[in-house]
Amino acid sequence: MSTRMIAVKELVAGMVIGEPVLSASGKTLLGKDIVINPRIISLLLMWDVHSIIIVDESAVPAAESPQEQPEQPAAVVLQSSLAEDFVTFFKEYDSVMTSASHSFDFIKNNNQIPVQELKDTSFSIYSTVLSTGPAIMDYLLVSDYNLADKVARHSVMVAFISSIIGRKLKLTDEQIHVLILAGLLHDVGKLVIAKEADVHPNSHVINGGKLLQHVPSIPQEVLMSILQHHEYMDGSGCPLGSTGDKIHLYARIIAVADFFHQQAYTGEHANPFPVLESMAKEMFGKLDQGVCQPFIRHIRDCLINSPVLLSDESTGQVIFFNANKLDRPVVKTDSGTIIDLAATNNIFIKRLVNQEYLANAN
């Protein structure tokens, strides 16, 4: 494959990245083989990247065009494509988690914020969101629970989920980048609190604010998000009991992402279905309705056709959501039986499962 360097200002949609795009500190911002689109061009400009390596399709002689291969069934092609997407995503996810864990260890040991490293991690998260597209929520929901310690994993997941919400709300690329950084740091106060001194469950909010207030390169929106992500729309939150629009938008987004991830991962595996029902109720009190509604719709759409394990140990796929009972959708079992969980009290969804689990079960 031949490649060539091109100025970012000369990029056009449809070009393919030939080599990974790196930040000044050597972190991968965009992987190879990603197809250029207007959003990626704007990201590169925002990152102050002046030129990149692309695939030089014009250098491939016509005589070298590949021979025709027997056409494979669509299902086989789709399954292969999904498997490759999963592998690619988890490599990127593992890299992000490793970087975040290193940064958090540094904070624990030094009570200082490695700003550039965390900004690089936030860039990596957003580039992963862009390159993975709508499928990213599916991948996040079946991610490995044991990839990192609790605070690091939760912080990375909140950052990912917040970026998805930000895109649904049509925030700009620059706004989403700051939002991701805020999501990464929303629980940073937990890293500097001695267990014996942590007498209040929200002490980390104040301690996180104290840790960041004198870091000049941290945007003010990040500090506000950390201080307010446990505030609720009805004034029942803390530390100040702020209400409505007095709570920064990023804090309201992070509150939804935090609520979703904490509730969906109460055990070793993800079960987002009861959380959707809880969020649908909480958005008329604690959570921002304008943030919750598009996120709930997005999660619901992502979960259609998702494989699930039922309480009777059978497996199947979600095929329809009941509007008034989001935790009890209609499921088609692998044996072909259609079960409306809203009409039965003795069967419920235990958790999501991935394709590896299904393969082992069969």
Tens of pLDDT along the chain (362 residues)? Answer: 688 888 888 888 888 888 888 876 666 777 788 888 766 776 677 667 888 888 877 654 544 444 444 544 433 333 444 456 667 777 888 889 889 999 999 999 998 999 999 999 999 999 888 888 777 887 787 765 554 567 888 999 999 999 999 999 999 999 999 999 999 999 998 888 655 455 566 788 888 888 888 888 899 999 999 999 999 999 998 888 899 999 999 999 999 999 999 888 766 678 899 999 999 888 888 999 999 999 999 999 888 888 899 999 999 999 999 888 999 999 999 999 999 999 998 999 998 886 444 444 44
Sheet holding 307-310, edge to edge: 338-340, 325-333, 315-322, 307-310, 349-352
- Give the contacts of 220 (CB within 8 A, at least 6 positions apart): none
CB 352, CB 331: distance < 8 Å: no
Chain position carrying tokens 């991701």: 180
pLDDT confidence of residue 295 = 94
Measured distance CA(330)–CA(341) in Å, rounded: 6
CB 56, CB 18: distance < 8 Å: yes
Tokens of 154: 């939760």
Residue 17's SS3 state is strand
Return the sign of the alpha-carbon dihedral for residues 181, 170, 276, 240: positive
pLDDT confidence of residue 179 = 97
> Among candidates 253, 259, 256, 232, which has minimal Cα distance to 244?
232
Measured distance CA(204)–CA(222) in Å, rounded: 15
CB 260, CB 278: distance < 8 Å: no
Measured distance CA(103)–CA(121) in Å, rounded: 9
What is residue 310's DSSP assignment?
A: E
